Amino acid sequence: MYKTFEGGFFAFISTDNKRYTLRHLPEAYRLDGLVVEITGSVNKDIITTTQFGDLLEVDAVKVLDDRHARPPESGPRKLKSL
């Protein structure tokens, strides 16, 4: 999933609800809503500003479901006035 916080990043929530910030995710898999299986390792030596769980160094990605996959929103976000 794509998160817009801190300039934007790709995140992953595992089936046991653990949250990860993804590092080295191949361009082909940078789609919001893509359901994947990821192989990688947690890197505790790097601190990020994402505040979205551990940093996961991606080694391999397997697509499980791409029916709802779409490119992430890009460009500046429009704020609604209150």
Alpha-carbon distances of 66 from 23, 49, 70, rounded to whole Å: 21, 29, 9
Confidence at residue 76, expressed as pLDDT on a 0 to 100 scale: 46
Q: Which residue has the tokens 């361009």?
A: 27
Q: Which residue has the higher pLDDT, 26 or 51?
A: 26
Residues found in the chain: 82
Confidence at residue 4, expressed as pLDDT on a 0 to 100 scale: 81
Task: Write the pLDDT tens digit of every residue in 32-82.
Answer: 889 999 999 999 998 888 888 899 999 999 999 999 999 887 644 555 554
Q: Which residue has the higher pLDDT, 6 or 70?
A: 70
Confidence at residue 6, expressed as pLDDT on a 0 to 100 scale: 73
CA distance 72 to 59: 22
- b or e along 5-22 (b: 16 or more beta carbons within 10 Å of the residue's beta carbon)? eeeebbbbeeeeeeebbb
